[in-house]
């Protein structure tokens, strides 16, 4: 593979990573979460508690805890995202359909995001029942 082809793949990987994960240039105020279904959340960083990353296997799991919500991000190469949480620089986490995910093995890939209420374990990413309010 030529250097030009390698650079093109790295650039494509970086562009796809930007589609599913974006960071602030300085400390931000809130984390925005977007699902493929169109559901979105804004979670203020003043309620951020901690983040942890589980690796080992094809899929990694990044757990992000807020006082009111637990976020579970499944994907690959999530260590970069975890590192940005250390400085509260993550602005956006977004699910990206598999067909648009990066070709690069080293690019961040977010395959799914689950948003739950900690006390009840209720999954807010599931369709709401008729008449219920989230």
On average, the pLDDT of the chain sits at: 80
DSSP structural state of residue 123: B
Q: Give the pLDDT of residue 10.
A: 41
Q: Where are the domains of the chain?
A: 3-116
| Contacts by residues 2-10 (CB-CB < 8 Å, ≥ 24 positions apart) | 9/103, 9/104, 10/104
Q: Does residue 1 surpass a pLDDT of 90?
A: no
Q: Does residue 102 surpass a pLDDT of 70?
A: no
Q: Give the pLDDT of residue 115.
A: 96
pTM: 0.76
Q: Give the pLDDT of residue 82.
A: 93
């Amino acid at each position: 593979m030529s250097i030009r082809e390698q650079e093109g793949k790295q650039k494509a990987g970086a562009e796809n990573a930007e589609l599913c994960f974006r960071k602030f240039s300085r400390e931000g105020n809130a984390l925005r979460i977007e699902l493929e279904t169109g559901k979105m959340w804004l979670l203020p960083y003043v309620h951020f508690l901690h983040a942890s990353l589980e690796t080992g296997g094809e899929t990694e799991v990044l757990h992000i805890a807020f006082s009111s919500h637990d976020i579970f991000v499944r994907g690959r190469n999530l260590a970069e995202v975890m590192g940005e949480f250390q400085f509260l620089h993550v602005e956006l986490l977004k699910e990206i359909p598999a067909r648009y995910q990066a070709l690069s093995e080293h690019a961040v890939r977010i395959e799914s995001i689950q948003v739950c209420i900690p006390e009840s374990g209720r999954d807010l990413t599931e369709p709401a029942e008729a008449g219920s309010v989230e």
